[in-house]
Amino acid sequence: MTGDPLFVHGLNLAVWVIIVVKVVAVFAIVLLSVLFMIMYERKVIARLGVRYGPNRAGPNGWLQSLADGTKLLFKEAFTPKGADKVVYKIAPYLMLLPALIAFAIVPLGGQITIAHHTTELQLADPQWGILFLLMTSGVAVYGVMLAGWASGSKYPLLGSVRASAQMVSYEAVLGLTTATVVLVTGSLHTSSIVAAQHGGFLYHWNVIHTAVIPFILFSVAITAEMTRAPFDLVEAEEEISGGYNLEYSSVDFAWFYLAEYAALITNSAIIITLWLGGPDGPRIAGHSIGPVWFIIKELVVLYIFVWIRATLPRLRYDQLMDLGWKKMIPAALAMLMIIAGFQATSTSSGSGIGHYLADRKWGFIAIVASVALYLLLTRAIEVGKTSSEIEGTQRSESMTGRQL
């Protein structure tokens, strides 16, 4: 069992203080990264659109988000007349909290020693490890859902219903692809997941170990989970004039903004932990520089998120649901089965292609079964579509009512 060396000598006051310091430090890191990230996104998007982006406040405009935040703090906090007052005020915090605490399980690489106490650069390494991520992403729905409901007006409610349907739909993919990582690692601890990917740049990472496809599925699902572009039809201005946070202003709106970007940073960190080796990377002059590698990877992943937002157009609602339920969940299931099959490899004596195949028979059986099931599924969807079309024409009903 892995564990933080901090607790080797039990729990005493110094350990308590160190834990509190770590909590505050992680909190500060996430909040500061949010300030940075907002500017990073605006600058990159501007450059991708051949513009300058914000360039007035501070050096090269890098203090713009600080200025915006300060301005928001001094605006009037407005509560609509029909709002459910208590839930309306709580919702932003319910959104912010999961995004912040999910960062606790991210290993940042290496250990540090403070006053004779050695501790991991990771806030918490619970036994349920990566299940913590599934927990926070499951609970994150509440913020969005209640914000829209408590606003007491129609458009935010529509936005929040869209958002929660979307988040619930894509959670299954998240869970299934995370399970593939747990399969190849054999542990739920995030520290073990990172340790298993250590050594050998790229070659030992889970992206390669799980044959890339689960990684892509996970990244797409987590983008949908965050309701970021191209899955941002939650805040499609031309359809529902805003989204779940339409009625919010002042600090409450700032919390939503903060929560969105905190979730982006945390989820990128989770992607790196699960698939991209965490803080793994070549040593420089014999020194292990895990945190530096981690920051570099984080910047690259965040850049890709921004790039996607600047490039891809928004999906339609039925496209979103089709992608989630008919393509990604079956693919994630198939990959889980195939990887489980290849994990059950036996080692027989002898070489040659025959032995090679025999050793990995469960893996190949799983591939064949997946292809067969895929064909069956496509056929079933086709049949279902035609039969509902027939039904539709019989009842001479327009299908538009069922689209949403």
Among 49, 59, 313, 401, binds other proteins (CB under 8 A): 401
Among 139, 251, 296, 377, binds other proteins (CB under 8 A): 139
Choose which of 88, 132, 215, 255 interacts with other proteins (CB under 8 A).
132
Q: State the minimum distance, in angstroms, from the CB of residue 29 to other proteins.
A: 25
Q: Which among 138-146, 206-214, 329-337, 375-383 is the span making contact with other proteins, rule CB under 8 A?
A: 138-146
- Whole-number minimum distance, CB 388 to other proteins, in Å? 9
**Residue 78, token pair as written in the block:** 């407005």
Residues β-bridged to residue 284:
287
Question: Is there binding between residue 131 and other proteins (CB under 8 A)?
Answer: yes
How far is the CA of 399 from the CAs of 166, 271, 402, in angstroms? 21, 39, 6
Rg of the chain (C-alpha set): 24
Q: Among residue numbers 179 through 218, which ones bind other proteins (CB under 8 A)? A: 188
The enclosing H or E element of 113 equals strand 111-114
Stretch that binds other proteins, among 49-57, 123-131, 193-201, 244-252 (CB under 8 A): 123-131
Q: Say which amino acid occupies 67.
A: A
Kindly tell me which of 39 and 144 has the beta carbon lying closer to other proteins.
144
322 binds other proteins (CB under 8 A): no
Residues of span 8-47 touching other proteins by CB under 8 A: 9-13, 16
Among 23, 46, 48, 135, binds other proteins (CB under 8 A): 135
Residues 6+ apart with CB under 8 A from 248: 92, 147, 151, 256
Residue with tokens 């909590």: 23
By C-beta, is 18 or 66 nearer to other proteins?
18
Choose which of 127, 319, 348, 378 interacts with other proteins (CB under 8 A): 127
DSSP of 284-342:
BTTB--HHHHHHHHHHHHHHHHHHHHHHPPPPPHHHHHHIIIIIIHHHHHHHHHHHHHH
Give the shortest CB-203-to-other proteins separation in angstroms.
28
**Interface segment toward other proteins; rule CB under 8 A; list 4-12, 57-65, 352-360, 361-369:** 4-12
Q: Does the footprint of other proteins cover residue 128 (CB under 8 A)?
A: yes
The H or E element spanning position 373 is helix 361-394
Per-residue tokens: 97: 């909290």
Packed helices 131-150 and 250-275: angle between N→C axes, nearest 10 degrees: 160
Q: How do the residues of the chain divide into helix, strand and coil, expressed in percent and rounded to 5?
A: 70, 0, 30
Residues 46-85 as x/- pattern, contact with other proteins by CB under 8 A: --------------------------------------x-
Residue in 179, 358, 403, 199 with CA at minimum distance from that of residue 282: 199
The answer to whether 36 touches 44, Cβ cutoff 8 Å, is: no
The residues binding other proteins (CB under 8 A) are 1, 9-13, 16, 84, 86-87, 126-128, 131-132, 134-135, 137-139, 141-142, 145-146, 149, 157, 161, 164, 168, 171, 188, 391, 395, 397, 401-402
